[in-house]
Structure 1
Amino acid sequence: MSSGTPEQVIIVGGGPVGLVAAMRLGHFGIPAVVVEAEDQVSRALKASTFHPPTLEMLDQYGITPGLLEAGLVAPTWQVRMHETGEYAEFDLSVLKGDTAHPYRLQVEQWKLSELLLAHIRTKLPGIRVLMGHRCVAVEQDEGGVRAVVESASGGRQELAGRYLIAADGARSTVRAALDLSFEGLTFPETTVLATTRFPFHEHIPTLSYINYCWASTGTFSLLRLPGLWRVSLYPWEGETVEDALEPDSIQKKLQHILPRDEPYEIMEIRPYRIHQRVVNTYVNGRIVLAGDAAHINSPSGGMGMNGGIHDAFNLTEKLKRIYAGESEALLAQYERQRRPIAIKHVLQQSGRNRARMQERGEKQRRATLGELQRKAGDPRLAREYLLETSMILGLREAAAIE
């Protein structure tokens, strides 16, 4: 037996993208149910950078102040030559005429999820959230869509709805059930993410909160969060991924960044592969993909979660108009506006960020740093570059697509 109103939207995935979509639909008066496999918000090491337009979007619902309170405002970011201390620094204040939030915000994505859940549960009775439930099957016809969900105890129920949003991440079960092509590639390197409470900023005073660093042994990044630093490391030449994950290897890499007489306290370690993929179609009848279910990219530049949230805002605006009586053809406009932007401004830009940091040649590194310093030092060029890397330009281009 199906549960819920047949007019509801079923949202598979209760991460930031799914919860943003649910919140928006709730404020539009559209019933929705969120299905999330985890029984609580995951605090795994995932995204931690919020770009200006994302903060503007969330500000409409009173979410951004909570993020600001929980995070760190990063007015600048850097590309650095580690051994020499040279760097190019981009100051986002040049965007003050383009956004109310001319900075990046450093805060863990799980804090956004918790804020969204609290907002939904206290203010939006038309939204149900089923934590600890996996979607195991989906089907659709001209009249609607149905999802079979299974609880942790093995109990099953069928949810009926008018549309289904697949926001269930890079390993999307919905995308797999639809047998959609996920075109792209997987890069050869593995990133090893480690966190430490060591205050790098007190020992390297020129650091920004966001730093992409070249070193003689390869590359790494340093991102500051409240009370800790996240360090992205890579296996050294000739080192296996398994060896790079060993605490001794991580200690050596941290000691290379900043030598100390005592070992670093390492709190968490997480490896991840880097992918650049986009699904062949976002809209499949009454089932629509968003976020990592639709596109995944290099995390360099912090565009993945932000792009998914932008998907959710665009898609829910289309659903609002459809529920008000406009044509379902608006779903095709969602795909026209979001898929090319994901390719051009998310996948390609994050790919360029990755390629820059994977550069091993000293001559090319110096040429790239010089070009970045030239852009950073020219307010016009800096603004143009930051409009792109802060995801503002992509949203403007999307809005112009009919």
Structure 2
Amino acid sequence: MTTNLTTGVLICGAGAAGLTLAIELARRGVPFRLIEKMNEPFNGSRGKGIQPRTQEIFEDLGIIDRVVAAGGIYPPQREYREDGSYAESAVVEDVQPTPAEPYHLPLLVPQFLTEGVMRERLAELGVQVEYGCELVGFDQDEDGVTARIAAGAGAETVHARYLVGADGGRSFVRSTLGIGFPGKTLGVRAIVADVILTGIERNAWHRFNEGSMERQLSLCPLAGTELFQIQAPIPLEGDVDMSAAGLTAMVAERTGRNDVQIKSVSWASAYNMNARLADRYRDGRVFLVGDAAHIHPPTGGQGLNTSVQDAYNLGWKLAAVTTGAPDALLDSYEEERRPVAAAMLGLATKLLDALKRGENRRGREVHQLDIGYPESSLALEAPERSDGLLAGDRAPDAPVRGAAGQPIRLFELFAGPHWTLLGYGVAPASVSPRPGLRVHVFGQSGDVIDEGGHFVDAYAPSPGDWVLVRPDGYIGAIVASGETAALKKYLNEVGVNSRA
């Protein structure tokens, strides 16, 4: 059976990137389909770290509390010595939250639990993943993409304005387009497995033979489950027994302990570590997100987070273009996200080298709070600024108070698919309201009050400044009171038009 259907966006791949993009489009009312060639959801823990910047995104998506409830924080790492004694240390630096950065520690949440929460959110928005649907071919022209899908009910043809490949490191979308995926194989092969075991406590991330790529092994309790995740480098060639018996033997051989018994294996994978980056993220009406655009070693817990942020960046731009913004807005996706991925590959590779030496401590560099787009074509300053908060930077949080007396955070004002314009000591009427833009003013007759001075501390505004925050929580523009014409021009160019 062949059917011909039409949609706005076709998303191929229902992992973290595809689900993020789907939520973004669903809450903006953009028609789309989310297909996944597997017959059921992924059931492994591969990406288990949720960094602070991604936690901010999950707050905006309405799922942060559910993600926290599903998992937990990283336990201390317990490094065993040859004589059986051990030393404990924190995996991440112990830093406290601040008004500008409310999320301060990475979370430990198995990937299958994170994606389960995301599917729940998508269902609340009225959409389900279409499992057992495989993209087998597509063509594009200036009007859209014609995709061919094979499913249990038969073949179908889908016409979409845009196609997004969120289909992983072996991306069918990327290979069909002939987009290069240069990089290197890093000479490390490893296993990762989710198991139920006995004989070891759940209050630590147990690490053995740090610094030895032949005997290294770690057992990490997976918060929110009864499982442990086993990670271990293995020889570059040859089969590895990943049955319960095989893994029990590996643990015994590498730890010298016979009390650790693997009872069952729910998921296991052997893989070669690579660092690769797609030559481009866009080909006409087709885009790549997540592992389809970049793959890397798992060190530092960067992968799932970078994938989520790819989709978070692309989602609002696709929605804007489908509702009238110029198509050129979509060029900023690759412009902004590809350099981030390039830097992330370098960081993950550096952390892998440190792990080979037995070093596994991570600092602020993995939190992703310092990622920004200062060189983006979407960053406007009028006049140009030389220090402090700049256009393209992440928009900080701050506790403030509404004019009616109730406490509120800037992140609460930002939450949702709209743009947010913050005025400081301005005449409120100098920028008129328009669809998709919410305006809040600090100062006399304003609707928000910087009672604790946290807004001024974080944003360092001058009287008369307007600060425009994008839907993805980055500063789009900072303009002085005499430059509102430039601000209005900017809003029109990104599809926030004054007409209803």
Of 77, 99, 102, the match for 1:100 = 102
Alpha-carbon separation, structure 2, partners of 1:138 and 1:163: 11
1:22 and 1:261, CA in 2 relative to 1: closer, same or farther beyond 3 A?
closer
Aligned match of 2:28: 28
Aligned match of 1:378: none
Of 211, 214, 224, the match for 2:221 = 224
1:261 and 1:33, CA in 2 relative to 1: closer, same or farther beyond 3 A?
closer
Query: What do residues 299-333 of structure 1 show as CA deviations (whole Å, max 9, x unaligned)?
Result: 11221111100000001122233234322222221
Q: Percent identity over the alignment?
A: 25
Contact 1:77 1:211 in 2 (8 A): no
Letter in 2 for 1:227: E
Structure 2 gaps, min length 5: 377-391, 394-473, 477-500
Aligned match of 1:214: 210
1:301 and 1:223, CA in 2 relative to 1: closer, same or farther beyond 3 A?
farther
Of 6, 10, 14, the match for 1:4 = 6
Contact 2:300 2:348 in 1 (8 A): yes
Letter in 2 for 1:12: C
Aligned match of 2:179: 180
Aligned match of 2:196: 197
- Does 386-395 or 48-57 show the bigger shift? 386-395
Contact 2:199 2:260 in 1 (8 A): no
SS in 2 for 1:94: coil
Contact 1:72 1:105 in 2 (8 A): yes
Instruction: List aligned pairs for 1:211-360, cutoff 5 A.
Output: 214=210, 217-225=214-222, 226-235=225-234, 240-243=237-240, 245=242, 250-255=247-252, 256-257=254-255, 259-261=257-259, 263-268=261-266, 269-344=268-343, 346-359=344-357
Instruction: List aligned pairs for 1:40-59, cutoff 5 A.
Output: 40-59=40-59
Aligned match of 2:116: 114
Alpha-carbon separation, structure 2, partners of 1:262 and 1:244: 17
- Does 133-142 or 106-115 show the bigger shift? 106-115
SS in 1 for 2:14: coil
Alpha-carbon separation, structure 2, partners of 1:309 and 1:262: 36
Alpha-carbon separation, structure 2, partners of 1:320 and 1:82: 54
Contact 2:199 2:261 in 1 (8 A): no
Letter in 1 for 2:33: V
SS in 1 for 2:265: strand
Deviation at 1:358, TM superposition (A): 2.0
Instruction: List aligned pairs for 1:124-163, cutoff 5 A.
Output: 124=126, 127=127, 129-153=129-153, 155-163=154-162
1:70 and 1:90, CA in 2 relative to 1: closer, same or farther beyond 3 A?
closer
Of 342, 350, 364, the match for 1:387 = 364
1:95 and 1:160, CA in 2 relative to 1: closer, same or farther beyond 3 A?
farther
1:44 and 1:287, CA in 2 relative to 1: closer, same or farther beyond 3 A?
same
SS in 1 for 2:169: coil
Alpha-carbon separation, structure 2, partners of 1:100 and 1:233: 34
Aligned match of 2:72: 72
Query: What do residues 181-235 of structure 1 show as CA deviations (whole Å, max 9, x unaligned)?
Result: 01111222210123343467638x6x3x586961555433333213222121123
Query: Does residue 1:171 correspond to 2:167, yes or no?
Result: no
Alpha-carbon separation, structure 2, partners of 1:212 and 1:339: 36
Letter in 2 for 1:3: L
Contact 1:183 1:278 in 2 (8 A): yes
Deviation at 1:248, TM superposition (A): 5.9
TM-score normalised over the length of structure 2: 0.67
1:90 and 1:159, CA in 2 relative to 1: closer, same or farther beyond 3 A?
same
SS in 2 for 1:102: coil
Alpha-carbon separation, structure 1, partners of 2:45 and 2:23: 24
Contact 2:138 2:146 in 1 (8 A): yes
Contact 1:221 1:233 in 2 (8 A): yes
Contact 1:182 1:280 in 2 (8 A): yes
SS in 2 for 1:44: coil
SS in 2 for 1:394: coil
Letter in 1 for 2:109: V
Alpha-carbon separation, structure 2, partners of 1:201 and 1:95: 30
Query: Does residue 1:62 correspond to 2:62, yes or no?
Result: yes
SS in 2 for 1:202: coil
1:67 and 1:158, CA in 2 relative to 1: closer, same or farther beyond 3 A?
same
SS in 2 for 1:350: helix
Q: Which protein shows a greater Rg? A: 2
SS in 2 for 1:21: helix
Q: State the aligned residue count.
A: 369
Alpha-carbon separation, structure 2, partners of 1:87 and 1:172: 40
Contact 2:78 2:86 in 1 (8 A): no
Q: Which has the higher contact order (CA 8 A, sep 6+)?
A: 1
Deviation at 1:58, TM superposition (A): 1.3
Structure 1 gaps, min length 5: 360-364, 373-384
Query: What do residues 213-262 of structure 1 show as CA deviations (whole Å, max 9, x unaligned)?
Result: 615554333332132221211236xx954256576663344233362346
Contact 1:194 1:266 in 2 (8 A): no
Letter in 1 for 2:355: M
Alpha-carbon separation, structure 2, partners of 1:13 and 1:89: 35
SS in 2 for 1:145: strand
Deviation at 1:67, TM superposition (A): 1.7
- Does 111-120 or 173-182 show the bigger shift? 111-120
